[in-house]
Amino acid sequence: MKKLASIYDRSRVPLYLQVASVMRQRIETGHWTEGEKISTLEELEEEFAVARVTIRQAIELLRNEGLLDAQQGRGTFVSGKPKNNKWLNLANDFDSMLGSIKNNVLKRVHIEEDAAAPELRKGEGEPADAYVFLRSVQYNGGEPFSVVNLHLDKNIFLRDDKRFVRSAALPEIVEMEDVVIVHAYQALTIGVADPETADLLKIGLGEPTADCHLVLVDDNGIAIYVADIHYLKDCFAMRTDLLSKTGPRRGGKAVPQNSLRSRSGSS
């Protein structure tokens, strides 16, 4: 009990959201399968060392998400799985990333001209003279899956402001013949939803998000595009072949491709 209490105290997220996150993960991973009756209120109350009202709040949240179904006199059953389950594979090269966003459906929800310069980390280039801030929501199947907070070099924005307002900025920049992108820095982290992000993604305050920080630097060393993207954790995965560049390994050493071909040919 004391151990759980200390774990809960490490987070500012309300108790029922913490409990709901664990229960949601059990459904997502198949620990609780669809149609299965989950633990009783008493069992959950004892397991999580919280008041019954907290368990009820967590169940109600998951019921509203379509994951649980509480039946009077029978108990609570799993009624579905989280939506958008790991369908988005975040690209790890520029061309793949560009291709993945070309057809995204987005909605601009906030535009601020003469915005303050974004905070740039060491090595991410120098700030532009002025920026425009654009916040947008990206949709898949009619449901929001990411919030994009973008600082765009104002000189680039003013070249075709109407198009930048209605379309994803990155594909437009790439098509500009006189813009040379020298670096595309990408950093992936795990974050939590602030009030603005939670509202736009229709999730609970403080729920985990997969965060991408993307900075494009031109040939003058200027950070012309600085984006912070917050993805729904349930849609996000990063899949890659770790041997795609080095090739097969055996005994700690690379295996020559011609050796593999000769072996397969002799079988």
The residues that bridge with 146 in the sheet, in sequence order, are: 138, 231
SS3 71: strand
- Give the number of other Cβ atoms within 10 Å of residue 1's Cβ: 7
Tell me what pLDDT residue 25 has. 84
More confident residue, 251 or 209: 209
Beta strands in 43-159 (DSSP E): 68-71, 75-78, 88-89, 105-115, 126-127, 131-140, 143-153
> How much is the pTM?
0.68
When comparing pLDDT for 82 and 250, which is higher?
A: 250
Domain parsing of the chain, residue ranges: 2-78, 88-237
Supply the pLDDT for residue 81: 76
CA atoms within 13 A on the CB side of 79: 15
E strands, 116-180, are: 126-127, 131-140, 143-153
Helix axis angle, 41-48 to 52-64, nearest 10°:
110
The pLDDT of residue 267: 44
| Strand 236-237 to 88-89 pairing | parallel
- Please determine, for residue 176, whether its predicted confidence score (pLDDT) is greater than 70: yes
What is the CATH class of 88-237? alpha beta
What does the pLDDT average to over 126-148?
A: 92
CA-nearest of 47, 171, 203 to 106 is 171
Predicted pLDDT of residue 252: 72
Number of helices followed by number of strands (H, E) in the chain: 10, 13
Taking a C-beta distance cutoff of 8 angstroms, is the pair 226, 215 a contact? yes
Q: What SS3 class is residue 79?
A: coil
Residue 96, pLDDT score: 74
Give dist(CA 169, CA 42) in Å, integer: 52
Residue with tokens 């379509």: 66
Which pLDDT band holds residue 179 (cuts at 50, 70, 90)? very high
Beta bridge partners of 185: 215
pLDDT of residue 214: 93
- Do 132 and 108 contact (CB within 8 A), yes or no? no
Ramachandran category for residue 242: left, alpha or beta (phi over 0 → left; psi -120 to 50 → alpha): alpha
pLDDT at 78: 95
The two structure tokens encoding residue 45? 């109350």
SS3 of residue 7 by DSSP: helix
| Average confidence score pLDDT of the chain | 85
Q: State which CATH number among 3.40.50.300, 1.20.58.1910, 1.10.10.10, 1.10.620.20 fits the domain covering 2-78.
A: 1.10.10.10
3-state secondary structure of 29: helix
232: nearest Cα among 266, 207, 265 = 207
Hey, is 199 helix, strand or coil?
Answer: helix
Q: How confident is the model at residue 251 (pLDDT cuts 50, 70, 90)?
A: confident
Q: Are 147 and 200 in contact (CB under 8 A)?
A: yes
Which pLDDT belongs to residue 245?
A: 75
The closest of 164, 168, 95, 172 to 138, measured between CA atoms, is: 168
